[in-house]
A and B are shown apart, each in its own frame.
Chain A
Amino acid sequence: MSFFSKYIFFPALACSLLFGSCTSSAKISKKENQHYLINSNTVDSSAFYTILPYKKKMDATMNEVIGKTDIALTKDQPEGVLGDFVCDLLLISCKKYIGKDSVLLNGVLLNNGGLRTSLPKGEITAGKIFELMPFDNELAFVELTGDKTQEMMDYLAVKGGMPVAGIRMEIENMKAKNVFINGVPFDKNKHYYFISSDYLINGGDKMDFFKNPVKTVFLKKLIRDVIIEYCKNETKNGHTLSAQTDGRISVAK
């Protein structure tokens, strides 16, 4: 540890300089403040040996290679290959958790802030997916009115795009236009069904269109677990982990 700043304070003196006199409660006569930078090679051996079995087990899990990417998957706006990858795999993988309503599912919406790191080109470990999605966000299935869905599209346009699946739209002057859902032009008189995270549906990132939905079902399934499961399956089937942008959200020319 190194000791890099020290601050010393004499309350009695400062107090008398500033305010004339001190009350009798001023028993503290001197204070010092300093910080240690924790960077030395001195470790407490007892703490080290407490950590060791936890670390070994964790490393074994986290270092497991669960797939391989052929390109780096990174975030971007209005559309990024990482967002496409995650949303597309959720659209495919979630149906089995939704049950009979799964036929209704139209799309997926996440937030850029929720994707915490990129996936590099090459081997992907489970630990990398924990870095991508460290929070224990669960999947939620939500039914929205056409009006609320319109608000979602407007939100996407104002924000300059978010990770989605099942949706195609153009952004013009921060407004949504040419919106297609599952290849069909958006119809304000219809209800739409989306997968998102419990965090967003419960008010995260000010996605107000999720307030008072027609129906919400929390699927009790961690998004991270679904991603890991998908990667393992793809690998088992001899596939690399891949995605490419398809212009689902674009800026109108």
Chain B
Amino acid sequence: MFGTAAVMGGLELFPNGEALAKKGVSKLTVLYTNDTHSRIDPFPTNDPKFPDQGGFARRAAAIKKIRSEEEQVLLLDAGDIFQGTPYFNMYEGELEYKLMSAMGYDCVTIGNHDFDLGMENIIKQKPYASFDFVNANYGLEDTPLSKVVKPYKIYYKGGIKIGVFGVGIELAGLVPDKLCKNVQFFNPVVAANDIAKTLKQEEKCDVVICLSHLGYKSEGNKPNDIILGEQTGNIDLIIGGHTHTFLELPTEKADLNKKMVHITQVGWAGIWLGRYDIYLSKNNNVKTNTSASIQLMERNRY
């Protein structure tokens, strides 16, 4: 679709923020996870699928390193922080929130498993969380979450204004009724379209990011990230979750305004940390490499 994809090894195309600022360009580094599922420790070395991979303390080190190299970092999670190891059974999410706060997470959305000990448990663990919670398609007025979860949040990083909102999967059949009592479910595509329009056109956000716990694919005609990307406008990036999909490359979709939206997801369990750098220019005058619209760079361990 985009013609040639060039593989470029080791070429430093992307200078750091300081060098860019001189040229009137600003850079935002978005780091993200999804479905970390209480995997505090790395998988054991004899794990058949993910030997010695993941781990919160390692992720914290990786994030710290990136923060030392980049000025404007936004750290996000697309839900299902809870459930999956005895850490959650014993401590009910306290440690997950504590560590994520120390890593400097800015914002998360709520996944279906975040309801596993009820909404009261999210409130109970909230004091350990210094980050924001967003969801735009659950009606939470009559639930304990009403004061904690907002449809969207706006962040300022350097001179960049970023709108972040969340959408969640239908809970009926996934989460026992008693754990999500009085949560009303609204169409996530409609909600996303409305909020993104508000963020881009009224709030004049430079970047609009959707944290989605709908899944990359879905059964039947249920909404998923692909549908979300195609049937909305004003979203720049969809960071997905729920289906534990490892997307090596972002999926590109033309949105309602025929503008490209990117969909990404980094599997689960904190095995990958995702990174998405966005370069913004006030005068839209950035020099780009004109030989190809997409370039793939492969590098090995550094």
Contact residues of A with B, CB < 8 Å?
A: 1-15, 17-19, 23-40, 42-48, 50-51, 54-55, 57-58, 61-62, 127, 130, 134-136, 198-199, 202-203
Q: Which one of B138-146, B219-227, B269-277 is at the A interface?
A: B269-277
Nearest Cβ on chain B to A112's Cβ, whole angstroms? 19
Known: A50-B99, A54-B95. Contact between A31 and B276, CB under 8 A?
A: yes
- The chain A residue with its CB closest to the CB of B89 is A130
Nearest Cβ on chain A to B231's Cβ, whole angstroms? 18
CA distance A169 to B90 in the complex (A): 39
Taking CB atoms, residues of chain B closer than 8 Å to A13 are 288, 290, 293
Known: A33-B250, A33-B262. Contact between A50 and B102, CB under 8 A?
A: yes
Contact string against A for B residues 90-121, beta-carbon threshold 8 Å, 1 for contact and 0 otherwise: 11000100110011000000000000110000
- The chain A residue with its CB closest to the CB of B175 is A202
Taking CB atoms, residues of chain A closer than 8 Å to B25 are 29
Nearest Cβ on chain B to A65's Cβ, whole angstroms? 15
Taking CB atoms, residues of chain B closer than 8 Å to A33 are 249-250, 262, 264, 274-277
Q: Does B248 contact A (CB under 8 A)?
A: yes
Taking CB atoms, residues of chain A closer than 8 Å to B147 are none
Question: Can you sample 21 A-B contacts with CB below 8 Å?
Answer: A1-B58, A1-B65, A2-B300, A5-B298, A7-B250, A7-B297, A9-B260, A13-B288, A14-B294, A27-B280, A28-B207, A31-B278, A33-B264, A36-B272, A36-B275, A44-B57, A44-B60, A47-B57, A47-B102, A55-B40, A202-B177
CA distance A23 to B236 in the complex (A): 14
Interface size classification for chain B: 35 or more
Residues B258 and A38 in contact, CB atoms below 8 Å apart: no
- The chain A residue with its CB closest to the CB of B281 is A29
- The chain B residue with its CB closest to the CB of A2 is B301
CA distance A33 to B293 in the complex (A): 14
Which of A18, A32, A39 touches B14 (beta carbons < 8 Å)? Answer: A32
Nearest Cβ on chain B to A173's Cβ, whole angstroms? 28
CA distance A57 to B95 in the complex (A): 13
Taking CB atoms, residues of chain A closer than 8 Å to B58 are 1, 38-40, 42-44
- The chain B residue with its CB closest to the CB of A222 is B89
Known: A13-B290, A50-B99. Contact between A6 and B86, CB under 8 A?
A: no
CA distance A136 to B264 in the complex (A): 31
Residues A8 and B295 in contact, CB atoms below 8 Å apart: yes
Taking CB atoms, residues of chain B closer than 8 Å to A24 are 284
Q: Does B62 contact A (CB under 8 A)?
A: yes
CA distance A240 to B298 in the complex (A): 55
Taking CB atoms, residues of chain B closer than 8 Å to A27 are 206, 280-282, 284
Nearest Cβ on chain B to A243's Cβ, whole angstroms? 25
- The chain B residue with its CB closest to the CB of A202 is B176
Q: Which one of B48-56, B73-81, B148-156, B182-190 is at the A interface?
A: B48-56
Nearest Cβ on chain A to B180's Cβ, whole angstroms? 12
Q: Does B286 contact A (CB under 8 A)?
A: yes
Q: Does B127 contact A (CB under 8 A)?
A: no
